[in-house]
Amino acid sequence: MPLVAHSDLPAFRHLREQGHEILPLDRALHQDIRELHIGFLNMMPDAALQATERQFIRLVGGCNRIAQFYVYPFSLPGLPRSDDALQYIERYYSRFEDLRGEGLDALIITGANVANPALDKEPFWDPLIEVVSWAQDNVTSILCSCLATHALLKHFHGIERQPLPEKRWGVYRHRLSTPAHPLLREINTRFDAPHSRYNDISRQQLEAAGLTVLAESPEGGVHMAASPDQFRIIYFQGHPEYDINSLLKEYKREVKRFLAGELEGPPPFPENYFSDEAAELARKHVDAAAKSPGAAERIVDTLEKDIEPLLDNTWGDTARAIVNNWLGLVYKFTDLDRKKQFMPGIDPQKPL
């Protein structure tokens, strides 16, 4: 499934440079191939805005069905943004009002940073619910990541996330809970996935609301669940989109907080992520930075450069396979004439 570079979004250039197939718009327009138009609601903070954009677009482009993918990033008012980020969004992102008028086949919603324990008190809550309410009736399927999962579960099912005793971050081994589900076709029964969050929604909460738990970890919790109709809404608590160095960058930010006096001690390592060699190297760098405040920034940057070659990505293939299955279902249930209508009658007991 080639991605179509239908705009000047820098992600298309970055992915092309990394060897991904990116189809120029003029060439795409001359091919008689089905199109899928996917909205990408990016609520991530400025520091992760473009990285998250590339990660999800790469996942979409990694699928292997014959279709052309048009991905439309957009964001919401109410999210704190720098002037640079606002200018970037103004230049490269779509407006929800335009997408609503033109229609979409599927929607991806990212996580976000929050300041309030109650999600419905966040300034972006009402704009988010406006998007979700429209998508519920006009988009074939919605895929949610992390905070978006918690927000939609609260909105649709009244489920309240529960604070964890400490941040859950690392790479965790998961097992399929419902192997016969159409989203999990040809997926390994055991696989890794990254998590990074302070709150959790449990299997018990999900099942009490009639949702299907698809994959979970004894240490990481539920990774993936689906709405009762099997694929209208897909919920991830984990981060299948993460790059090999995403958790490393989070660790680096925590180290900087420690060096700035915001933490009492050095941050813990993300679980099951650093090898013994990487962990020892990280300790040496953090200790050196703490002892040499004038050189701390340089040492922390060197930490990232030195540790990244020692990391392993053990989740990417599974993430691509799941997204491939998801988009295969979107492809199957999207009308050939591209009508943007909700398709009733999906029987949760009938295989898709």
Question: What CATH number should be reported for the domain holding residue 318?
Answer: 3.40.50.880
Q: Which segment of 32-36, 132-136, 193-197 scores lowest on mean pLDDT?
A: 32-36
Catalytic residue among 174, 181, 239, 285: 239
> Is 289 found in the same domain as 218?
no
Q: What is the pTM of this model?
A: 0.87
Instruction: Please state the rounded mean pLDDT for residues 37-62.
Output: 94
To the query of whether residue 63 is one of the catalytic residues in this protein, the response is no
Q: Are residues 327 and 277 in the same domain?
A: no
Q: How many domains does the chain have?
A: 2
Q: 347 lies in a domain?
A: no
CB-CB contact of 172 with 217 (8 Å): yes
Co-location of 188 and 317 in the same domain: yes
- For the cut 50, the answer to whether the pLDDT of residue 345 exceeds it is no
Number of H helices, E strands in the chain: 12, 11
Q: Residue 273 carries which DSSP code?
A: T
Residues 167 and 290 occupy one common structural domain: no
Residue 162, amino acid: Q
Q: Domain for residue 293, yes or no?
A: yes
Q: 210: pLDDT confidence band, cut at 50, 70 and 90? A: very high
Pick the catalytic residue from 53, 122, 241, 254.
Answer: 241
- Which pLDDT value is given to residue 24? 67
Residue 223 annotated as catalytic: no
In a shared domain, residues 148 and 291: no
Residue 69 structure tokens: 């993918």
Sign of CA dihedral 146, 149, 154, 159: negative
Residues 175 and 229 in one domain: yes
- The answer to whether 198 and 167 are in contact (CB under 8 A) is yes
Mean pLDDT of 19-28: 62
- For residue 63, the model assigns a pLDDT of 78
Q: Could you tell me if residue 350 is inside a domain? A: no
In a domain? residue 268:
yes
Tell me which residue range forms the domain holding 301.
246-310
Asked whether residue 37 is domain-assigned, the answer is yes
Average pLDDT over residues 282-290: 94
Question: For the chain, what is the mean pLDDT?
Answer: 89
Segment (H or E) for 149: helix 147-157
For residue 343, pLDDT over 70 is answered with: no
146 is catalytic: yes
Active-site residue (options: 53, 63, 122, 146)? 146
User: pLDDT tens digit string along 177-192?
Assistant: 998 899 999 899 999 9
